[in-house]
Structure 1
Amino acid sequence: MKSYYAFFFCLAITLHNVEEALWLPQWSQIGAALQKPVAQNEFHFAVLIITALAYFISFLYLIFPKISILKWGFIGYLGSMIMNAFFPHLMATIIMKTYAPGLGTALLLNVPINSIILYRFYKSNVVTLKEISISTIVVGALLLAIIPFLFMLGGSLINY
């Protein structure tokens, strides 16, 4: 893997998560049925861990590109962040008729950067469409599964 793929992925997810960290906790207090309100400490902890996991899997895949599970983790993270732009960010913006924090960076950074990386991996036979699809579903499901736990952990560990 070219190291700049990991760099651009990490840059995009970091900027996206910073946008969310700045505005999403307050936005979540609107009280719509789409999301449960999340406290700032809970969200900041969760977004920090999610971002750190992205860096960690990227670093491991750079160091050990022949280990399939690391490749699948990396491409799954790429695909998950593409899907995240549409579900929930774009969907929430449309349904709630108010900007969902993270939508701009998701559409302007995560979708194009991650799509280009996945396309280049596919064109150079590093990964198949089936691997992209399955990895995106598995990593996306794992991320969704740990978020409530991270919120709970953040709420009990951080108090500001």
Structure 2
Amino acid sequence: MISTAQGPSDESTRIFPIVLLVAFLLHNAEEAISYSSYRELSQALIRTVFFHSYSAPSTHSFHVALLAVSAVGSAAMIWARLNPSRPAAVMLVRGLALLMLGNVFIPHVPAAILLGGYAPGVVTAVLMHVPIAGFVLVRLQRASAA
């Protein structure tokens, strides 16, 4: 990868936002599709382990929240794609990659273990977020160190 004194090349900051956005949106779609099937089980588990009075959001509320998060993430990555030479673009890309990677371990993998093997979003979190966000973070780090 070509890098400049300011950080990663425009080449990498042009493709990374799109790749991250696709993985992010596919993950949110998996959560949207599977949430209603796991809502009651998740609620019972959280009530037992953490908060006795916890009430999981309705499917409609969860979908609205997912749409809002998806819109914010999309706007950020589109802006980063359109402004690849701006330092804020690199920060946004790095931020979403870190968020996606962290989201694998809090809550998806532990939730899947506690729910007996699957939790909404765990498939895309493990199969897409780990390799894609990990690759982007490593490449951005190498470019900024060069």
Q: For this pair of structures, how many residues does the alignment match?
A: 127
Map of 1:2-151 to 2, 5 A cutoff? 2=12, 3-30=14-41, 31-33=44-46, 36-125=55-144
Match of 1:138 in 2: none
| 3-state SS, counterpart of residue 57 of structure 2 | coil
Letter in 1 for 2:15: Y
Asked if the contact 2:17–2:78 (Cα under 8 Å) also holds between the matched residues in 1, the reply is yes
Question: Separation in 2 of the partners of 1:4 and 1:67?
Answer: 15
Asked if the contact 2:16–2:136 (Cα under 8 Å) also holds between the matched residues in 1, the reply is yes
Asked if the contact 1:10–1:54 (Cα under 8 Å) also holds between the matched residues in 2, the reply is yes
Deviation, 1:101, is: 1.1
Asked if the contact 1:82–1:114 (Cα under 8 Å) also holds between the matched residues in 2, the reply is yes
What's the % identity of the aligned pairs? 26
Using structure 2 for the length normalisation, give the TM-score. Answer: 0.77
Asked if the contact 1:29–1:38 (Cα under 8 Å) also holds between the matched residues in 2, the reply is no
Asked if the contact 1:14–1:51 (Cα under 8 Å) also holds between the matched residues in 2, the reply is yes
Task: Name which structure has the greater RCO, CA cutoff 8 Å, separation 6+.
Answer: 2
Question: Structure 1 unaligned runs (5+)?
Answer: 128-160
Question: Structure 2 unaligned runs (5+)?
Answer: 1-9
Deviation, 1:36, is: 4.0
Letter in 2 for 1:32: L
| Alpha carbons of structure 1 residues 41 and 126: separation in structure 2 relative to 1, 3 Å | farther
